Structure formats: structure tokens, C-alpha cells
């Protein structure tokens, strides 16, 4: 990637200082950056001290076999004890841990004392099913409390879990069960999605007919919908309520080595064969707990926190289960979709529980923009004090919309960059410290070392673009790809010697702040210039008629690649004659003529992965009139038929 071409196409001058009261009372201040810069390992050792260790670590980082890291290796702790029991022992048993809101409107408030009893019973049930320390357990569940309870029960026993997103097919589940060699599967009869029960158990039954899944001894089934006729395999299938309910609610947790495996999580597969990312115990919990405390400024006595991700993604692991619960938070867990039964459902939930900290994804924010400003305006959102974003670059105009319509034009937004592989947040503003810039994750968190380099691994100057790399190991880093150390080395450590390459393009602005530019595979080459899909998309979204945009580079005889854009219009905007020209001119004016799309197609939907990210690879196939590649990770493959009907047959 050449430097000059990515240099500051997009100029963003807006700045938002932290609210004074938040800054004055912030959990973490600017001193944390100084402390970590002076003694990075000492800083992390101190953060590890926020946890309860049965044996406190004396070592911090062992990097002697780099890039295979060991953190806090001589310490011992139990993750479930840290997330549950210690809060009860500290007299907080009556605090609500989870406010569960089912999609049909059923609710359940679970206190820390109750969570301790439930996790203990589930742990005993797993023991009865023969689960031993080190055995892998697959979890294929809807978003219900038992999912979190199951994860914590596994952690309590030192049995690494592999949570597979409940929207994945039987095939995807079988591949993951096979790769991790799981012994038990925890599932449910189904969950509620879009106003009706949606079965899960049949996919487990089908997955277990496939080769490589023979070692699964038991399937533990939660009854959630109660409406399905559940096929039953005697001797293998067990109802959760039958086995869990009769167990003792007292269980003494055992402490495990800090490097004991905690979970395997397969990346969503935007880019090919899923990788089983391995996370371990002490370093992972240290960083998820610290970042949740720092980035959300969590005050466990008064905050009501809500992360809208699915637990099937890393965001759910780190910021629904382990981060918030390790901090003794009160959190909302919502089962369903944002528009069931109406497009204001999320805002109704914020109002109902008095949510103070909301963590969601750009895809959801853009959907809300499309539905219209009047919907959130009907609800009282005044409890909100911090808003978070994760998953994709957030377009500056989506950021502004989020701040204005959800955050009353006052609430700080923390744009958090991280990955399944990093385990926890890596780049983000701090809400009480950083003056935020719409669309930028800005800077590495205290204790994290990140920069942008060029093709030759040299750090780029301010104002230039290149590749995002992490230059020092961090506590919650992946330890390897499950069963494939070589793939770990090749995928993350071979492009730039001694540096972790994240796969994302980024630039530094004139202040040295970092802007994510999308995956390097998505960067376009137009007449000798590298142009970021993210920047062109953001320019389109800054037009008042556009809610969402996806941009790809299609092969072009004159310019190498030509920019082709797919746009979703905001509610009410008409697709009239001059629109396409108007949008092309707008991009040229925002970014310069080089970035002007050759073609712009208004569409009703965009292809997304099941975690809500735009799949540009498929749009490139469309733009180049090719047969579509693998569509198995798409949420809804009919979207592609719709898009193709929009195209003239020749490009």
C-alpha cells in the first residue's frame, strides 16, 4: 500500500470533549497512559490484581517462546469464582447480575446469589455427565440466561467451551464440534426470533450424524420454547431441568493455572475456513475485566449495562459474560431482534431498565438510521451516559446520528477496535479522558502497543496510511489456533517480523490518531491509488439520503479497479432520476474526484455475515458479473438475488 494514496482522503474536524462530570469522576484518567508507558508489565500486573487469585502470580509475561505467550503463568484462579462467588462473598448477593428480557416479553431478574446457585448446579450436572477438566463442551444456544450459566459452569470446571452462534447451520456446528473434539453439547429446544419460536435442537441432531462428531456423549437441552416436538435420543439427550434442578447448589471451585484453556471461539469466517481461536484464563480475564471497567467507566453500584451482541461472538464472550460479571455489573440480556415486535424495541428496553451504558455495532446503528429518527424519539433515553461501538468501522455520520438521537447530543461514544484474536478491546477512546472524533478508534488503550506500518514494516508518519499492527504482546491475546500452531504463525506473525498483523488497513491522522480503513483485502486500487472502501462508504453515508453503503473495486480495463457502490436509502428518500449523479458528485466533493464511484446502485438490503458485517466479496462478484462464491455465512442469501435483479446484465 503506498503511503501518499491513503493519506487523509477524509477530513474530520469535529471534536467532542468528555462531559466535565464524567471526566471528574472517571475510573481511569490520563495517568493510566503514563503509568503503562513507564512500566507496561507492571501496569498489567497491577490490573491482574483487580482479580481474586488463589495463588497470586509472581511472573507477568513469559515471551521466551515468542510469539507463544504466557501471562501470569505461576498464578492460579477460577474464572467463575471471579465472576460470581466473590461478589456474593463481598456482600453483593442481592445485586441483580442479569435482567433477562425474552423476545416475547417474559422477564427474569437473576441476582449474583442466584447466579452462584445456578452455576453450581450446572457444574454438578456437567460432572454427572462425565465432564472433566480439559474436556471441550460445545454450546449452541439462544440468548437466554442458561447460556451464560453454561459458560460459567464450564469455566468453573476448567472445561473449555466452544460457543457456536445459534444461527449457524448443522454443517457449521459439526465442523466446529469436530475441530474441538467436543464431548458434550449444550443446546435448547429453540429460542424466539422475529416473533416466533425457532428450533435449535434439530440442527444438533443433524450435526451429530456427521463424521467426526462421534465423541459427543451427551446433549444437554434447555427447554425454552416448549412448543417444538423435540426428537429425543435416549441415552444421549438430557433435559437441563431434569438433571440440573436436582443438583446441589453448593460447589467449591478449583483454581486453575493462568494458562489453562478457557475457551475456543471460531472466527466468523468472513475470509475463509474458520479458525479456532484459543483463549486462556488469567491474562484473558485480566484484560476483559480492566477494559470493561476503563472504557465503559463502569460504576457497578449504579450502572445498568447492556451489550446487544450475541454470546456466539467474541463481543458476547468478553463483554456480556466475562468482563461485566467479573466487575459485578448489573446487565441486560435480550433474546431477540431489534425490530420485534416493533422498531423501537431496543429503546423501549433502555427506558424500561434505565440502561446507562449501551454497547452495539455499526450495522445496528445504520439500521436504526434507516428506520428513522422519530422511533428513538418516542422513548426516554435520558439514562444513557456512555455509548459504545464495535465490529466494523463506524461511518462518521452514523457516529453523529448515534450521539444525537440516542445520546442526547451529550453522551461520549467509545469506538472500540479489537478482534476475536485479541480477546479484548485494544484501541478505544477513554470516555473521561479522550476528546472523541467521529469515526475513529483513535488510540491504543493503556498497556497496549499499536501502530501503523508500511509495506516494509516501517512506522508511517502522521497523515499516512498502511497496516495496523500490534507491536507488543498483550494479556488477552490468542495463544494459538486450536491444534494448528503453524497456522497461528503464518496467519498473524509472518507478514511483519516480530509484529502481530491484524489484517486491517489503517491510517494516522495529523494528530497521530488511528482510523481503521477496513480489511486490507477490501482496499481498492484505482488508477494507481489505494482507496479505502470504508472512506468511500463514509462519504456516501454523509449524504442525507443514504443510510448505509457498501463499496467494492470491480476490475476495470482503464483504471485497474473501478469503484462500485451499493447504497441503502434512508426512510422516505426517493430513488429519483438525479440521485445517482448527486451521490457521485457528493463523494467527489467529500474525498476528491479520484474516489468518485463509477457506478452506484440503490438496493434494499446488503449481504451481511451472521455477525452483521458487510460481505464485500459477494458484491465484488456481482459487480464483476461472476457467479457468487460461498454464501453459507450470509444471514439471508435471498438478498443476493434481489441485488442481482438491480443490475443491467453487462457491467
Binding site as annotated, residues for CoA:
193-196, 315, 527
Binding residue for ligand ATP, selected from 191, 276, 312, 391, defined by CB under 6 A: 391
* 279: nearest Cα among 138, 56, 482: 482
Closer residue to ligand ATP in complex, CB, 331/392 = 392
Nearest approach in angstroms of CB 527 to ligand ATP is 26
Closer residue to ligand ATP in complex, CB, 267/286 = 267
Residue 504 interacting with ligand ATP (CB under 6 A): yes
Closer residue to ligand ATP in complex, CB, 330/532 = 532
Closer residue to ligand ATP in complex, CB, 43/313 = 313
Beta strands in 34-114 (DSSP E): 61-62, 70-71, 76-77, 96-101, 107-111
Nearest approach in angstroms of CB 611 to ligand ATP is 6
Binding residue for ligand ATP, selected from 35, 169, 337, 419, defined by CB under 6 A: 419
Residue ranges in 213-272 that form contacts with ligand ATP under rule CB under 6 A:
267-271
Residue 503 interacting with ligand ATP (CB under 6 A): yes
Residue ranges in 354-373 that form contacts with ligand ATP under rule CB under 6 A:
none
Residue 412 interacting with ligand ATP (CB under 6 A): no
Residue 537 interacting with ligand ATP (CB under 6 A): no
Residue 530 interacting with ligand ATP (CB under 6 A): no
Determine the Cα–Cα distance for residues 93 and 84; give it in Å rounded to an integer: 9
Residue 396 interacting with ligand ATP (CB under 6 A): no
- The site map against ligand ATP for 19-58 (x = CB under 6 A) is ----------------------------------------
The dihedrals phi and psi of 183, each to the nearest 5 degrees, come to -105, -25
Nearest approach in angstroms of CB 570 to ligand ATP is 22
Closer residue to ligand ATP in complex, CB, 148/516 = 516
**How distant, in Å, are the alpha carbons of 151, 280, 340, 352, 398 from that of 412?**
31, 32, 28, 22, 14
Of the ranges 144-152, 387-395, 553-561, 576-584, which one interacts with ligand ATP (CB under 6 A)?
387-395
Residue 306 interacting with ligand ATP (CB under 6 A): no
* Beta-bridge mates of residue 550: 566
* Number of Cβ atoms within 10 Å of the Cβ of 557: 6
Annotated binding-site residues for ATP read: 391-393, 415-420, 504, 519
Nearest approach in angstroms of CB 183 to ligand ATP is 25
Q: What strand order describes the sheet that includes 276-280?
A: 237-239, 218-222, 184-188, 137-140, 161-163, 261-266, 276-280, 480-481
Nearest approach in angstroms of CB 22 to ligand ATP is 21
Nearest approach in angstroms of CB 418 to ligand ATP is 6
Binding residue for ligand ATP, selected from 93, 393, 429, 505, defined by CB under 6 A: 393
The single residue listed with the C-alpha cell 477513554 is 430
The footprint of ligand ATP on this chain (CB under 6 A) covers a number of residues equal to 24
Of the ranges 42-50, 192-200, 249-257, 409-417, which one interacts with ligand ATP (CB under 6 A)?
409-417
Closer residue to ligand ATP in complex, CB, 330/538 = 538
Element holding 305 (H helix, E strand):
strand 304-307
* 112: nearest Cα among 91, 90, 89, 84: 84
Residues 575/608/392/343 CA torsion (nearest 10 deg): 70
Closer residue to ligand ATP in complex, CB, 83/615 = 615
- The site map against ligand ATP for 427-446 (x = CB under 6 A) is --------------x-----
C-alpha 327: how far from chain center: 19
Closer residue to ligand ATP in complex, CB, 343/389 = 389
Closer residue to ligand ATP in complex, CB, 433/502 = 502
Determine the Cα–Cα distance for residues 249 and 124; give it in Å rounded to an integer: 8
Binding residue for ligand ATP, selected from 420, 434, 476, 533, defined by CB under 6 A: 420
C-alpha 17: how far from chain center: 26
3-state secondary structure (DSSP) of residue 101: strand
Residue 613 interacting with ligand ATP (CB under 6 A): yes
Annotated binding-site residues for Mg(2+) read: 541, 543, 546
C-alpha 23: how far from chain center: 26
The DSSP secondary structure of 391-451, one letter per residue, reads SSPPPHHHHHHIIIIISTTTS-EEE-B--TTT-S--B---TTTPPB-TT--BSBPTT--EE
DSSP 121: H
3-state secondary structure (DSSP) of residue 289: helix
Nearest approach in angstroms of CB 397 to ligand ATP is 15
Task: Provide the grid cell at 457.
Answer: 514494516
Determine the Cα–Cα distance for residues 403 and 286; give it in Å rounded to an integer: 30
Nearest approach in angstroms of CB 1 to ligand ATP is 15
Of the ranges 44-52, 169-177, 327-335, 499-507, which one interacts with ligand ATP (CB under 6 A)?
499-507
Residue 516 interacting with ligand ATP (CB under 6 A): yes
Q: What strand order describes the sheet that includes 465-470?
A: 450-453, 465-470, 500-508, 514-519
Beta strands in 24-131 (DSSP E): 61-62, 70-71, 76-77, 96-101, 107-111
Of the ranges 291-299, 416-424, 447-455, 560-568, which one interacts with ligand ATP (CB under 6 A)?
416-424
Determine the Cα–Cα distance for residues 81 and 305; give it in Å rounded to an integer: 21
- The site map against ligand ATP for 265-304 (x = CB under 6 A) is --xxxxx---------------------------------
Annotated binding-site residues read: 193-196, 315, 391-393, 415-420, 504, 519, 527, 541, 543, 546
Nearest approach in angstroms of CB 9 to ligand ATP is 16
Determine the Cα–Cα distance for residues 85 and 422; give it in Å rounded to an integer: 27
Nearest approach in angstroms of CB 264 to ligand ATP is 14
Nearest approach in angstroms of CB 557 to ligand ATP is 30
Determine the Cα–Cα distance for residues 267 and 312; give it in Å rounded to an integer: 10
Determine the Cα–Cα distance for residues 564 and 581; give it in Å rounded to an integer: 13
Nearest approach in angstroms of CB 163 to ligand ATP is 13
Helix ranges (DSSP H) in 500-564: 533-541
Determine the Cα–Cα distance for residues 160 and 257; give it in Å rounded to an integer: 13
Binding residue for ligand ATP, selected from 390, 547, 618, 622, defined by CB under 6 A: 390
The residues binding ligand ATP (CB under 6 A) are 267-271, 313-314, 390-393, 415-417, 419-420, 441, 502-504, 516, 519, 611, 613
Amino acid at each position: 500500500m503506498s503511503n501518499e494514496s491513503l493519506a487523509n482522503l477524509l477530513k474530520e474536524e469535529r471534536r467532542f470533549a468528555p462531559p466535565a462530570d464524567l471526566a471528574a469522576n472517571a475510573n481511569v484518567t490520563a495517568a493510566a497512559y503514563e503509568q503503562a508507558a513507564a512500566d507496561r508489565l507492571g501496569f498489567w500486573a497491577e490490573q491482574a490484581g483487580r482479580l481474586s487469585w488463589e495463588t497470586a502470580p509472581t511472573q507477568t509475561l513469559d515471551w521466551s517462546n515468542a510469539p507463544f505467550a504466557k501471562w501470569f503463568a505461576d498464578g492460579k484462579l477460577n474464572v467463575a469464582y471471579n465472576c460470581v462467588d466473590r461478589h456474593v462473598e463481598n456482600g453483593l448477593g442481592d445485586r441483580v447480575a442479569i435482567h433477562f428480557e425474552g423476545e416475547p416479553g417474559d422477564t427474569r431478574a437473576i441476582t449474583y446469589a442466584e447466579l452462584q446457585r445456578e452455576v453450581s448446579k450446572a457444574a454438578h450436572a456437567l460432572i454427572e455427565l462425565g465432564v472433566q477438566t480439559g474436556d471441550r463442551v460445545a454450546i449452541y444456544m439462544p440468548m437466554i440466561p442458561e447460556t451464560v450459566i453454561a459458560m460459567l459452569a464450564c469455566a468453573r470446571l476448567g472445561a473449555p467451551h466452544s460457543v457456536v452462534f445459534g444461527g449457524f447451520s448443522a454443517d457449521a456446528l459439526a465442523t466446529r464440534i469436530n475441530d474441538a473434539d467436543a464431548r458434550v453439547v449444550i443446546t435448547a429446544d429453540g429460542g424466539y426470533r422475529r416473533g416466533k419460536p425457532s428450533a435449535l435442537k434439530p440442527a444438533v441432531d443433524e450435526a451429530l450424524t456427521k463424521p467426526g462428531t462421534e465423541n459427543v456423549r451427551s446433549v444437554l437441552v434447555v427447554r425454552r420454547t416448549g412448543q417444538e416436538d423435540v426428537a429425543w435420543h435416549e441415552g444421549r439427550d438430557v433435559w437441563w431441568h431434569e438433571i440440573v434442578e436436582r443438583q446441589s447448589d453448593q460447589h467449591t471451585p478449583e483454581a486453575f493455572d493462568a494458562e489453562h484453556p478457557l475457551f475456543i471461539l471460531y472466527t466468523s469466517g468472513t475470509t475463509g475456513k474458520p479458525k479456532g481461536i484459543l483463549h486462556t484464563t488469567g491474562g484473558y480475564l485480566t484484560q476483559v475485566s480492566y477494559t470493561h471497567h476503563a472504557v465503559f467507566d463502569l460504576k457497578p453500584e449504579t450502572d445498568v449495562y447492556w451489550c446487544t451482541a450475541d454470546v456466539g461472538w467474541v463481543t458476547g464472550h468478553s463483554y456480556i459474560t466475562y468482563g461485566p460479571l467479573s466487575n459485578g455489573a448489573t446487565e441486560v440480556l435480550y433474546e431477540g431482534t431489534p425490530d420485534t415486535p416493533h422498531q423501537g424495541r431496543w429503546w423501549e428496553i433502555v427506558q424500561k431498565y434505565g440502561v446507562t451504558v449501551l454497547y452495539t455495532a455499526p450495522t445496528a446503528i445504520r439500521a436504526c438510521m434507516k428506520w428513522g429518527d422519530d422511533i428513538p424519539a418516542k422513548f426516554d433515553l435520558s439514562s444513557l451516559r456512555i455509548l459504545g461501538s464495535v465490529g466494523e468501522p463506524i461511518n462518521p455520520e452514523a457516529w453523529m446520528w448515534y450521539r444525537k438521537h440516542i445520546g442526547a447530543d451529550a453522551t461520549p461514544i467509545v469506538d472500540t477496535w479489537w478482534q476475536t484474536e485479541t480477546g479484548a478491546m485494544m484501541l478505544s477512546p477513554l470516555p473521561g479522558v479522550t476528546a472523541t472524533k467521529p469515526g475513529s478508534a483513535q488510540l491504543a488503550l493503556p498497556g497496549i502497543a499499536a501502530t501503523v506500518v508500511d509495506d516494509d514494516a516501517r512506522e508511517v508518519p502522521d497523515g499516512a496510511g498502511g497496516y495496523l499492527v500490534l507491536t507488543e504482546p498483550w494479556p488477552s491475546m490468542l495463544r494459538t489456533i486450536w491444534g494448528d500452531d503453524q497456522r497461528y504463525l503464518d496467519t498473524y506473525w509472518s507478514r511483519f517480523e516480530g509484529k502481530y498483523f491484524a489484517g486491517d488497513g489503517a491510517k494516522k491522522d495529523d494528530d497521530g490518531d488511528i482510523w481503521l480503513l477496513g480489511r486490507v483485502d477490501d482496499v481498492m486500487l484505482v488508477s494507481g491509488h489505494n482507496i479505502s472502501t470504508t472512506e468511500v462508504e463514509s462519504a456516501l453515508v454523509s449524504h442525507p439520503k443514504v443510510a448505509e453503503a457498501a463499496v467494492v473495486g470491480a476490475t476495470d480495463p482503464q483504471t485497474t479497479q473501478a469503484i462500485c457502490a451499493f447504497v441503502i436509502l434512508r426512510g422516505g428518500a426517493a430513488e429519483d432520476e438525479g440521485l445517482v449523479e448527486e451521490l457521485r458528485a457528493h463523494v467527489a466533493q467529500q474525498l476528491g474526484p479520484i474516489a468518485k464511484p463509477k457506478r452506484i446502485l440503490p438496493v434494499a438490503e446488503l449481504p451481511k455475515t451472521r455477525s452483521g458485517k458487510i460481505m464485500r466479496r459477494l458484491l465484488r462478484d456481482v459487480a464483476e458479473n461472476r457467479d457468487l462464491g460461498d454464501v453459507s455465512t450470509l444471514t439471508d442469501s435471498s438478498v443476493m438475488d434481489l441485488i442481482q435483479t438491480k443490475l443491467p446484465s453487462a457491467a
